[in-house]
Each structure stands twice: as structure tokens, then as C-alpha cells.
Amino acid sequence: MLDSYMLDYYHRIRTVNKAVNSTIVSLSGGYNDYLITPFITTARYLDSLHVFSPSVPLVWLPMDHLCILWCKQLVLVIARGLFDAVDFNTKQMSHDPEFLRAVFYHHLVNNNGIKIRKSIQSSHLTQSVMFARGRSEWIENLQKQYTISLAHGVQQMQYHMLRILGDTDYRYLTIVALNVDVVEWVFACSATQLQEQRRICSDGIHLSHFTEIWPSIRYRRKLLKLDTQELKRHYTELTHVIVRLLPTSKPVVIQIDRYFEPDRKLTVKTPSWFSFQRQLLLNQTHEKSLYYEIIMPQLTHVIQVYKVYVDLIKCSSKVHHATASLKVPWGNQNTHKHFTEEDIHPFQIRLHNSRPINGVNESASLQLTLDPLCQYSVSIRYDILGSMGQIARIYTPLLLPNIVAVLLLTFRNQILGIEATGRCSMFFKVAQFGIKPYYLLPMVKLVSRGLSCKRLSNSWVAPDWHVITEEGNDFLLLPLILYMSSVGIVWSAALVLSISLIFYEATFHKLACKILARTMMGSEKLSGWVLSVLHKLPGIVAIMLVLLSITTCGGLSLCIGCIFYFLKLTQMSQDYIEQLVVTVLKYFARQFRRNPTSDVSQNTHEDDTQKEGSSPQTEEGAEIENKVENLVAMDNSSSEESKVESDQTDEKSIENRNQMEESRVVNCDDIFFHFSIFMMWCIMAGLSVPSVLTWAHNFKYSTMLQPDPSFVPGLLLSICALPLWHMDLPKTEICGYSYLGQILTLLVGVTLIYSSVFLHRLNYIITSVIVLVTCHQMLASKYEFSDDSDINDSTTTGPETETSSSDVKAKLE
């Protein structure tokens, strides 16, 4: 749930239902409704009814959250139910919850066509019915399977008699009536009277309340499934089942099928997910067969999707009609598919809800009503694409809390890196090593199991994984799959954001200037000047966001703040690129200066050696002069060496100073720090989009959204934007980063435990993170550095100077 007010609404419904004798009827649109999930509309309390629109008789259509309000078929069904719920004595709605539930169960789940008051009154159903003795026709056909087709209607009343056989091979009876508008059309009787040398019935009992209105494309169909031996056991005198047809000009078709249940009720094992071939369920249906039931015990989870193929083998008619219906016993979520000469596509079977852990033990089944004039082949195949679609449909909302957890873990490691190294690491570097789920996911699972016990769940808020487990949607590797998928999504989003910040800065700036010029300013130059002023004075934007969140909608301030934050990041990245280019140019210029000086010194040294090699040394009388010259040369060389050493030390100190200045210039800690906060801000803006859309839709009525679920997050983040955008962050000389990292670790666990289903809690978790970081950067105290390093430096330089002076004295002596 994205909205806390929606959660309060459903909580109040449950509270009112417990306090007052009321009946709650909830409707879901089925697979076409992508916004209202079955989890929201499922009723978990007594005297309630939850139905999917594809399973409602006379509707059988999936619809979205808008069509469900004005769908003609559904409106008629609900209107009939409301009229039948009126108490005849008080002329008001009945206050009997059992009666109300029976009325809507009749209209929305199991409609047999009979008025609900007659169905409830057992005396009416047990009362015998007198058959007309006037102008009527009694027909008995001894065939086990046959079809009565009356293309021109019925001229006079007809009674078709089906003998109740004692043979167990034909124990079960299925009758399908097409275009029979009469409510009471099937009975059971005892043929004891004679009329024109044939036995007939004078009266009988009702069987019409056992019928079902069956989905169909052509004509209205009614289906009756009957165990004749069970009927015979309760009423031993019965001999026939009677189908009564009243005079009509419409075409009428009656289809009869007697069979042995094991031949038509099959239990099959559904194919596995890695099976790519069709699995044959029925090689060929029996001739003139009408009904089959295929039980699938392995169909229990929402991610299971299969395709059922009903292929026509042979048919004696060009026009044929078959229907496949998926019956789910743990919820009114039946779906249907028709196979005709025009539609031969397979039937995709899937579940809206998984079978609950403490639910019924019955299995889902596939019921086939076939055309008796045709023979079919039935096969099934696992639908991998459909299964992936179900996974995306059911589990995509669970990715959002995992994405937030990955972002918080990444930001936590950046915070701890600032305390350890004094630098804020790059997002991708930290995300590569600091978000491994080895210890996090098992701890979250264990804590969720511990909080799900009855003692704690009654006194404390139950974790979201408890809800997922109760729905039957949990499996072993689900947390790991969600977490690893979230890691990939975060990496992809961060990569796209980085590329857009580096390469498309000018494009976004021009786009912002154009939008600002069209909405507020007159020209693009003026809007560009305004943007430059706002970049230099971001506090103005923060104050405007605070005013917007108070006067209009908190989500609007979050969205506008997200846009300005992105433009600020593009400006920071552009400044960083410019500084990086200047630093690289300075480096190459310094290398270019250093190489020519070394070449010149090398050439002069070679010339001196050549001159010394060519000096005359043949005269013996000049030895004394040479010794004197050598002593003078030694003194000169020592002085030159000392000068060279001093020059080298000066050059090294200059190089070190330049490198320090380059590191300070190219420092991009602020970009990495704001990059993570911006991604969290983007999630906040995305969660507030429904509030913004509601505010825009109701703007003509009121400029302020009331109530506003995004007001508190929008106001707090707008206030935090003032120091975040104005101060030089992060501050590396302050303490307390380790404590902040521990708080972020705790919030990661809270995110995964309590925000997987109820997504509105993410707003407050992310808001608390940004507020804590802002307060830490503003209020944390600085480290106190000692002067021991300076003393050590002075003591280390002393011996070096003493050794150098002693060497000079030795050379002079």
C-alpha cells in the first residue's frame, strides 16, 4: 500500500465489521486490474464475501478499477442483489447478516436462476409439483448419450423422461440446456400412471436449484450435474428425471450425457517449469461426451502458469462450442475460456491468489463442457513467459524496499569510509563490496519468524513477511532473488544517472531554461540567469519548497526538489570535469619542463669528462700543481653536490606540494556524497507521485491537498535541503560516523521487515535517514588533533643536520 490513509480505511472496515452486524462484499477486477491487487480487497473476516468479476455469473469478464464501476453486466447483478436484500416487512435493507450473505452469494457466486427467496425457503423446494395433464407430450429416450435439438422451438409442452438406472457405469448424469428461459425446468418423479400405453408422472420434486448458469457465447446455458444413485438413496420411489420444455418459438437444445465418474474425472500431474513440450491429458474424448473434470493438485502458487490446448479432432457440424472453466476452491476466482470454430487459442490458466497455508485441502480443477457432436484432444504446457509475467505482477512491488535497503547499505559504507580514510568513496566502488547479503537476509528472515508468533503478533505489529507467508506467496529463495535483482536495478540506475550527469549536462540545462522560460520567464536568457542565481543561492529554492509543501502538496515540493537537485549535481559534475582537465594539463606541462633541464645537464657533464680525458699528464714537474688542483676540485665538487642535493629536495617538496594541491582540487567527495542522497530523494519523489496526481486532479476545487500523506516527508526534506545544498559536505573532520552507520544498519533491517507490503513506511524511513545525516553534518563535534606529529618532525630533522655538518668538517680537514 502506497498510502497510510488507505491502510486506515481498510482497518476501519474491519473494525466496523466486528462491532456491527454488517456484511462486507468486495469485488476485484481480475487480471486487467493492475492497481487494486487481490490482497487489498480480500476479506478475512466473518460475514464477508470476496469475488472476482470473471467468476460472477452472467458477467464472466475481467475489468480494471474504472470499468468495474460502470460495467453493465456487473451493475445489473449488484442491483438485483440489492433489491433482493430488502426486507418485505420493513421495506428497508435487511439487518440479518446471514440472509444478506446468502443473497449476494446467490447473485455473485452460485446463481441457479431461481429467485433467492424461493431458494432459501426449503418448503418451496421440497413441495411436490403437479404436472399438467392437458395438451402435453411425454417422450422417453433410452439412449445413454443423445441430443434434443428443436430448431423451430416447441409447439406444445414436452416432458423428456430420463430413466434412473441401477447400473453404476451410468451413475452420473450431466444435462446442458441451451436457450431455456424457464426457471423451473428439471424435476424428478415416479412414473406410476399410464397414458396411451406409456408410463407418465403426475407430480415430482424440484431439481432446478441444483443447476448452474454456465458461461457461453451462443445462447444462455444451464448445467446440471447429478448423482442419480445418491438421489435414489434419498428418494427410493423415484424412477425418472424429467426435463420440461414450455412452448416457445426460440430454438432449444438439450444435451444429455450418462457416464462413469472415473472415466471423466482425471487427476493429472502438471508439467514442471523447465518442460517445453505439451503433456497429453486426453488423447481423444469419448464419442458424444459432454463433461470432463481434470484435477490438478500441483496448481497451488500464483507463479504457476499453464496453457491448455483443446484441439478439435473431428466434428459433424461446422459450428461447435466448448467451454473450459478453472475452478478454484479456496477463492471465488474462477476463469473461463470458449473454444469455437473462430477461436482456437489456448486457455491460459493461472491463479489470483496462492492456496493459503491453513486453507482448504481441495485442489483446483479444470472443467470441460464439450460439444457432443465433436471429439477433442486436450493437452497442457508450462507457460514460461506467463510465469515471468506473474512474477513481475506479484513481486515487483517487493523490489522497492530491497532497492531502498541496497541504497542504505551503500550509503552506510560511504559514511564508514569517511571516518576510516577521510574520503567519501565512489558509489560503484562501495556497492561492489559493501552490500553482500550473507548476514543480512538470514537475520531478517529469523527476526520476521520470531515476530510472527502469536504472542508477539497480538501485542506488536506483525512483519510484512508474515502477511506474504499467510497468502502463500513465499518460497525459499524469494528474499535472495529480490535482493539480487534490486542490486542490478540500483547499479543500472546509478550508471544511467552517472552518464547523464557527465555527458548530458548542457542538454538538461537548456531544457530547464526552456521550461522556465515558458512557464514563468519571458526569454531563455533571463531564465538562464535565474538558474545561475539559484545555483549560487540554493537556499532560495529550499525556502520555496517549504512554502510549496505547506500551501499545496508535499509531493509537489519533493518532485521539484528532485529536479533542482539533479541540476545541482550536473553543475557539480561539470565543475569537477573542468578541474580534472586543468589538473591533467598542469601535470603534462610540469613533465615537459622537467625533461629539457635534465638533457642540458647531461650534455654539460659529457663535455667536462671529455676535457678531463684530454688533459696532459706527461710532465713530471707538474705533479705538485696537479695535486693542488685536485684538492681545489674536491672542495668545489663537494659544494656543487650539496647544491644539487638542496635543489633536488626543493624540487621534491614542490612536487609534493603540487600533488597535495591537485588532490585537493580534484577531490570529488561532495559529488559521491550527494549522489547517494539524490537517489534516495528520487525514490521519495516516486512514492509521492500518486499524491501529486490527486492534487492536480482536485486543483480546481482546492489548491491544498487534504489529507496529504506526503506532507510530513515533503516538509522535512525541504527543510533539510537548506543545509544540504548550502554547506560543503561531507565534513571529514567531525566524529560520530560509526554511530550513524549503526543506525543505518538498523533502518535497513526495519525496511526489509516492515516495508515489503506496506510501502508507505518507506517515506518515513528515507526521511529519517536524510534528517539524521543533515543533523549529524550540522551538529556533530570536530576531532581534537594533538601536536605530537610536529614534535616528532622536529626531532627527526635534528640528527640529519648534525650528520651533514660533520661530513662537511671531515672534507675540509
What local confidence, expressed as pLDDT, does residue 299 receive? 93
Runs of H (alpha helix) within 755-812: 761-779, 788-812
* Total count of domains within the chain: 4
129 Cβ neighbours under 8 A, 6+ residues apart: 184, 187, 203, 204, 205, 206
Examine the domain organization and report whether 268 and 248 are in the same domain. no
What local confidence, expressed as pLDDT, does residue 218 receive? 82
Examine the domain organization and report whether 94 and 144 are in the same domain. no
Please give the torsion angle defined by the CA atoms of residues 167, 168, 172 and 175, in that order, rounded to the nearest 10 degrees. Answer: -20
- What cell does 432 get? 561492489
Residue 690 belongs to a domain = yes
Among 236, 259, 282, give the residue marking a domain's end: 259
Residue 785 belongs to a domain = no
Question: Is the distance from CB of 351 to CB of 31 less than 8 angstroms?
Answer: no
Among 214, 233, 259, give the residue marking a domain's end: 259
Residue 583 belongs to a domain = no
Sign of CA dihedral 377, 382, 385, 387: positive
- What cell does 608 get? 667536462
Distance of CA 727 to the CA centre of its chain: 37
Residue 631 belongs to a domain = no
Residue 653 belongs to a domain = no
Examine the domain organization and report whether 275 and 364 are in the same domain. yes
For residues 18-37, one letter each, b for 16 or more C-beta atoms within 10 angstroms of the residue's C-beta and e for the rest, the string is: eeeeebbbbbbbbbebeeeb
How many Å apart are CA 208 and CA 565, to the nearest integer? 70
Examine the domain organization and report whether 737 and 681 are in the same domain. yes
Question: How does DSSP assign 503-540, residue by residue?
Answer: HSHHHHHHHHHHHHHHHT-SSHHHHHHHHHHHHH-HHH
Among 355, 382, 409, give the residue marking a domain's end: 382
How many Å apart are CA 489 and CA 598, to the nearest integer? 53
Question: Is the distance from CB of 390 to CB of 348 less than 8 angstroms?
Answer: no
Residue 791 belongs to a domain = no
Runs of H (alpha helix) within 520-622: 524-536, 538-551, 554-613
Measure the CA angle with vertex 486, ends 481 and 487; round to 5°.
100
Examine the domain organization and report whether 677 and 547 are in the same domain. yes
Q: What are phi and psi of 308, to 5 degrees?
A: -105, 125
Residue 426 belongs to a domain = yes
Examine the domain organization and report whether 159 and 34 are in the same domain. no
Examine the domain organization and report whether 429 and 352 are in the same domain. no
Q: What are phi and psi of 185, to 5 degrees?
A: -130, -10
Examine the domain organization and report whether 438 and 505 are in the same domain. yes
pTM above 0.85, yes or no: no
Examine the domain organization and report whether 447 and 562 are in the same domain. yes
162, with CB counted inside 10 A (0-12, 13-18, 19+), is buried
Examine the domain organization and report whether 94 and 198 are in the same domain. no
Question: Is the distance from CB of 68 to CB of 74 less than 8 angstroms?
Answer: yes
Question: Is the distance from CB of 175 to CB of 254 less than 8 angstroms?
Answer: yes
Question: pLDDT below 50 — which residues of the chain?
Answer: 123, 597-598, 600-601, 603-606, 608-622, 624, 628, 631-632, 644, 660, 662-665, 787-813
CB atoms within 10 A of CB 39: 17
Residue 499 belongs to a domain = yes
**CATH code (residue 165):** 2.60.120
What local confidence, expressed as pLDDT, does residue 629 receive? 56
Examine the domain organization and report whether 244 and 279 are in the same domain. no
Can you give the residue range of the structural domain that contains 80? 4-111
Q: Pairing between strand 199-200 and 364-369?
A: unpaired
Q: Is the previous residue joined to 62 through a cis bond, with omega within 30 degrees of 0?
A: no
For the chain, the farthest-separated pair of C-alpha atoms sits apart, in whole angstroms, at 171
Examine the domain organization and report whether 269 and 240 are in the same domain. no
